[in-house]
Amino acid sequence: MVKVEITEEKARPKPRDLKISSYFSQIFSMFEGEECEIELLCENDTMKYIIERFGEGVRTERVDDDHFSATATVALSRMFYGWVFQFGGKIKLLSPDNVVDEYNKMLDDARRQQNSKI
């Protein structure tokens, strides 16, 4: 921020339906994008990261002895895709298809860039 100053203008009240905790669970590292409901396939040992990111109210369902699914609303951004990537396959995007396709395209682009440097 540049040239921040105090003014006499009254602050606007917070919208009644705004839930700060929900808002912050959707935004990844201050990068906002299109909101989208996503489904993830997660290994059981990643539950703490899912709760940390999306809160205790995140919808989860047992898939098998080793996995659960999580459904959440996120603001799509490169930071979101990076968050998924950091788990090295322990968290996978299941849906929607356009989000899975975008993630795979980003991975393919990164592979091509890496191979072109060799």
User: Per residue in 67-100, pLDDT tens?
Assistant: 999 999 998 888 899 999 999 999 999 999 999 9
| pLDDT for residue 19 | 60
- Among the residue ranges 31-35, 41-45, 46-50, 111-115, the one predicted with the least confidence is 31-35
Peptide bond into 96 cis (omega under 30): yes
Q: Quote helix, strand, coil % in the chain, to nearest 5.
A: 40, 25, 35
Q: CB of 37 within 8 A of CB of 71?
A: yes
Q: What CATH topology corresponds to 27-117?
A: Alpha-Beta Plaits (3.30.70)
The pair of structure tokens assigned to 1 is 């921020």
pTM tops 0.85: no
The pair of structure tokens assigned to 109 is 């682009």
Residue that has been written with the tokens 């994008």 in this structure: 33
| pLDDT for residue 7 | 79
- Among the residue ranges 14-23, 30-39, 61-70, 89-98, the one predicted with the least confidence is 14-23
What secondary structure letter does DSSP report for 56? T
CA distance 99 to 112: 20
CA distance 41 to 36: 16
| pLDDT for residue 48 | 96
